[in-house]
Amino acid sequence: MHPVLIKLGPIALYTYGLFIFLAFLLPYLLARKEAPQWGISEEFLSHLWLVILFGGVIGGKILFILLHLPTVLSHIHEINYWRGGFAYFGGFFFAYFLGAWYIRKKGYPLPRVSYFLTPYIPLGQALGRIGCFLNGCCYGKPTSLPWGMVFQLNSPAGHHYGLSPLHPTQLYASLFHFCFFLFLKNMRDKRKHRWRLLPFYLLIYLLFRGFLDFLRGDTIKIMGELTLLQAFTPLLLSITFIWWMRWKE
């Protein structure tokens, strides 16, 4: 675990922030290279990416604060607490609605643009989870498996579980998302699930995340061992399936 990559006096480069930056930069560079083949201008894509970046960061931070409101209020003056912490679904949906608004404003067809960009979502997640691993957040539960990871005591994982070996759920997620990126890109390039790749992505991600939450040790539990996300997964899957069917039409 290396939360600080480089430190020069009062200036520090945090690995979590670096990988979040890469999670937006690398997909953008790959998408920009392919954009002309899909009738999308580089200028439009650059502006859209800034809109998505803004929506992802703001939405992710807002939902994280709401989910951890008592803790946030009790640490309201701690800058270190505000520096990290994002809730993925807040960022995803806020970025989607802002992005959809901008796409339509510029006269582009939303289904085609989202179809083109969807494979890059899990690529960004794969990079972001590496940042989580190096930061010691989004950690797993204790495990006796040989690949269990021990985190520093000053990390979120170490603060919760001490020096117990934990499931490296961040790396599980990173590997899954990288493979998912390759799978979705292959589907897109072969024009499968034409125009409705985004709801398909969300269906698979909800299933994976629901399973991963059984191994995560930092989640909010509301019904026994069920996490907040798991409790709402049937509803979210139903809504997403309806979305997928409507987009098909």
Average pLDDT of the segment spanning 44-69: 90
Predicted confidence at residue 75, as pLDDT, reads 66
Q: Which among 128, 61, 47 has a CA at the least distance from the CA of 94?
A: 61
Residue 9 lies in a domain: yes
Residue 152 lies in a domain: yes
Average pLDDT of the segment spanning 126-154: 93
Instruction: Give dist(CA 228, CA 218) in Å, integer.
Output: 11
Using the predicted structure, report yes or no on whether residue 139 has a pLDDT greater than 60.
Answer: yes
Instruction: Give dist(CA 246, CA 145) in Å, integer.
Output: 44
Q: Amino acid letter at 71? A: T
Predicted confidence at residue 32, as pLDDT, reads 96
Residue 89 lies in a domain: no
Name which of 62-76, 117-131, 233-247 the model is least confident about. 62-76
Using the predicted structure, report yes or no on whether residue 83 has a pLDDT greater than 60.
Answer: no
Using the predicted structure, report yes or no on whether residue 6 has a pLDDT greater than 60.
Answer: yes
Residue 213 lies in a domain: no
Instruction: Give dist(CA 26, CA 127) in Å, integer.
Output: 9
Residue 224 lies in a domain: no
Using the predicted structure, report yes or no on whether residue 156 has a pLDDT greater than 90.
Answer: no
Q: How confident is the model at residue 81 (pLDDT cuts 50, 70, 90)?
A: low
Instruction: Give dist(CA 45, CA 206) in Å, integer.
Output: 27
Q: What is the CA radius of gyration of the chain?
A: 19
Q: How far, in Å, are 18, 47, 48, 92 from residue 41 at the CA level? A: 27, 10, 11, 23
Residue 203 lies in a domain: no
- Beta strands 226-227 and 221-223, pairing class: antiparallel
Instruction: Give dist(CA 168, CA 150) in Å, integer.
Output: 9
Using the predicted structure, report yes or no on whether residue 79 has a pLDDT greater than 70.
Answer: no
Q: How confident is the model at residue 145 (pLDDT cuts 50, 70, 90)?
A: very high
Q: Kindly report the pTM of this predicted structure.
A: 0.90
Residue 242 lies in a domain: no
Length of the chain: 249
Helical residues (DSSP H) of 35-87, grouped into ranges: 42-67, 69-74, 79-83
Q: How confident is the model at residue 110 (pLDDT cuts 50, 70, 90)?
A: very high
Q: Which among 247, 191, 227, 248 has a CA at the least distance from the CA of 89?
A: 227
| Between 10 and 139, residue with greater pLDDT | 139
Q: Using the 8-state DSSP alphabet, how is residue 146 labeled?
A: T
Tokens representing 113 are 């643009």
Q: Tell me the CB-side half-sphere exposure of residue 149, using CA atoms within 13 A.
A: 20
Using the predicted structure, report yes or no on whether residue 2 has a pLDDT greater than 80.
Answer: no
Q: How many CB atoms lie within 10 A of CB 249?
A: 5
Predicted confidence at residue 192, as pLDDT, reads 81
Structural domains in the chain (count): 1
Tokens representing 59 are 């939405």
Most confident of 6-20, 74-88, 170-184, 232-246: 170-184
Q: Which domain holds residue 24?
A: 4-40+108-184
Could you read off the pLDDT of 157-191 as tens digits, one per residue? 988 899 999 999 999 999 999 999 999 999 999 88
